[in-house]
Chain A
Amino acid sequence: MQAFLKLKSGEAPSKPTSSTTILQNAKPWVEKYRPRTVTDVVEQNDVVSILEQCITGADFPNLLFYGPPGTGKTSTILAAARQLFGDIYKERILELNASDERGIQVIRDKVKNFAQLTASGVRPDGKRCPPFKIIILDEADSMTSVAQAALRRTMEKETKSTRFCLICNYVSRIIEPLTSRCTKFRFRPLKNSMIHERLALICKEENVNYDESALKTLVEKSDGDMRRAITCLQSCAKLASKGTPIDITTVSEVTGVVPDTWLEQFLTLCKNFVHYKDLQEFIRKLMLEAYASSQLLEQLNDKLVASKDLNDSQKSFIGEKIGVISFRLQEGGSEYLQLLELGLSLVKAFSLS
């Protein structure tokens, strides 16, 4: 007992230091390397130039950002707010996302109340700042249309003291009256070279060894999604034991890429189709390996479009099938059944020529 207590008390002083270092480490790189200023945002030139003008004093419109995930929508508006308001930016923005309750009641109470407060044009430290607040509605495409409708008049009435920034992936899910009240900006998927540059920079900062080819695959697999690329990089760095460089196998495991051999085997099976049993057995085996079928479809599509053995009508037949199947998979259809159908369609397509 005595020994136990001694050990405990002896250990205690050393622990806090280690926990604070962990706390710093705990910050995921995605957060750590978020752009701090608007100019840091890459690729999105229109938005950046307009926001820069706003920061230097021009009028600030209501904004609507849309584009695929990981292109910097949230980062841009947060960086802009930080530049506009400095230290007090936390008081000047109201950030609501899909995880917060956003029914019509919340729009009526919370948003309206926040919008009605007037903001002064001077910061506590005496510097000037724009006399308005920003309400950020993140993931606005998951708001109900009733809630969106409730925003309409609020947006116009409170222009004096409040600006809105809506962020979404699909602009088609935002009701027309709202889009017409905002300046729309499309965020493009990032170029591979941009992501590569950023990843290399992070690797240097974090002292991570890497294989040039591994980094290249990582960039290719990220599809212009910076967040995915950085998360994958961090995961790879964590999985690899200290000192050893990141190699291609780790990268493909983390990104969940289906190995090419499976695809090849699938295609040859369908091309030289003999027994239904073989196909069934193959798909069952594939399922047990737990590769994501959505990923499989994507890779298959890339492969087939580039393929030289198929003519255009065959390709269009398969393309249509892949579209339908991918939709059904996302809606929750059974993977086994859908892939079997795909297999049989491929057999048919190959026999069409």
Chain B
Amino acid sequence: MKRKDKSLKTMLWTDKYRPKELSALDYHKDQAANLKNLTKDGDFPHLLVYGPLGAGKKTRIMCLLRELYGPGVERLKMENMNFTTPSNKKLEIMTVSSNYHIEVNPGDVGIYDRVVVMDIIKNVAQSQQLNVNAQREFKVVVLTGVDNLTKDAQHALRRTMEKYISNCRLILCANSLCRVLPAIKSRCLCIRVPAPTETEIVHILQNVCKKEDLSIPVEFASKIAKKSNRNLRRALLMCEACKVEQYPFTENQNIPDPDWQIFIKKTAARILQNQNIETLSKVRENLYELITNGIPSDIIFQTLLDELVANCDMEIRLAVMEQAAMYEHRMTQGNKQIFHLEAFVAKFMCMYQNMMQEMVGEF
């Protein structure tokens, strides 16, 4: 998700102005102070950091590691690790590591994540630090996307976390807590990272622009903040994109919507206009296009639903919502998303048409 291409002379603003120390963080200062307390005696429990996208989970984790080990953690190297499953399937996964920590996203290998989790932790935990004086006596394993781990992998974490606590600490990073097993939650210190408020984003945008020698009107900054949906990363990217498009900034400069959002809006309008087989097949094409362009299906579903429900009567809203919740759940269970998206669209068309007919009948 994040670009780490440092060979580029011009880094993205999101990476360039990423705070490197806990004391330099722009918001949630109390929490930063708490985290500092946590590392004061050179030791901390397993952590589970959770929050929405672009709230700064990763930034906080890196700051914490820096606080513990010093600037050495920023010397990162990428490495491909190989694993063999019990059924002799060879897996390869990319890890990012420094001398002190190793970061991996076990979700990359799909259902084989359990092998990765077990092997990595056991590897790290069983190799003791040679020079205890120079460093802490434990290493840190950062696992991202914990909420997307299979239940199997999460079970595998449980006892391992307790067993190897003397020379290995885990930092788990997740978007939401509900998919994390209670057994894991009870073994970690959970740290909530809420999204920054809009005023905080405005403040940060202004700071960044100042450092770049640009001037940004407050109105424009707050417009970006609003549009970013309190996602700091997106706000910075948007701001940078706007700068490329037109500088100096004007107050009512247009901030382009992402293409996919417009595309979904168009699809929704089409559904509301006409409910027949032809539209359905057109919608299918549109959905396929979205999926092949790599838009996550849950985001497609959510945006589409928001568009559709906004145009419904209160009476059928609950019914539509019920269906939507059901289809969305099935979509995450199954592995062919298009079926469920399309089934929902068809169901919605049917309900919408019934509603329209009833309304006509009443007159």
Contact = CB atoms under 8 A, between A and B. Distances in A.
Interaction A to B: yes
B12 interface: no
Interface of A is mostly: helix
B321 interface: yes
Interface stretch (B171-179, B238-246, B249-257, B279-287): B171-179
A37 interface: no
A48 to B, nearest CB: 23
B190 interface: yes
B259 interface: no
A288 interface: yes
A200 interface: no
B10 interface: no
A98 to B, nearest CB: 4
A299 interface: no
Interface string A297-316: 00000000000000000000
B189 interface: yes
A277 B325 CA distance: 18
B219 interface: no
A139 B165 contact: no
A59 interface: no
Contacts of A295: 177
Contact of A338 (B309, B325, B333): B325
Contacts of A345: 318
A240 B186 contact: no
A209 interface: no
A12 B301 CA distance: 59
B41 interface: yes
B55 A294 contact: no
A231 B133 contact: no
Interface string A277-292: 1001000100111111
A264 B188 CA distance: 29
Interface in B184-203: 185-190, 192-195
A33 interface: no
A138 B160 CA distance: 12
Interface string B302-338: 1001100110001001100110110011001100000
Interface in A202-252: 225, 227-228, 231, 234-235, 238-241
B301 A254 contact: no
A160 interface: no
Interface stretch (B18-26, B44-52, B93-101, B102-110): B44-52
A348 to B, nearest CB: 6
A91 interface: no
A221 to B, nearest CB: 11
A111 interface: no
A98 B328 contact: no
A99 B186 contact: no
B55 to A, nearest CB: 7
Interface string A26-38: 1110110000000
A189 interface: no
A151 B132 CA distance: 44
A314 B176 CA distance: 30
Contacts of B132: 16, 19
Contact of A294 (B166, B177, B186): B177
A228 B321 contact: no
Contacts of B118: 99
Interface in B38-78: 38, 41-45, 50-52, 55
B37 interface: yes
Contacts of A19: 132-133, 137
Given A69-B186, A341-B321, A139 B155 contact: yes
B237 interface: no
A276 interface: yes
Contacts of B305: 337
A22 interface: yes
Contacts of B306: 280
Nearest to B325: A341
B258 interface: no
A138 to B, nearest CB: 6
A142 B114 CA distance: 13
A347 interface: yes
B135 to A, nearest CB: 10
B122 to A, nearest CB: 8
Interface in A331-353: 331-338, 340-341, 344-345, 347-348
Contacts of B187: 227, 231
11 contacts: A22-B136, A26-B138, A28-B165, A231-B186, A231-B187, A238-B37, A239-B34, A239-B37, A256-B192, A294-B178, A341-B325
Given A238-B38, A334-B298, A335-B176, 19 more contacts: A19-B132, A19-B137, A23-B166, A26-B137, A31-B165, A97-B158, A98-B152, A138-B159, A139-B155, A256-B192, A276-B310, A288-B194, A288-B230, A290-B194, A292-B176, A334-B328, A340-B325, A341-B322, A348-B318
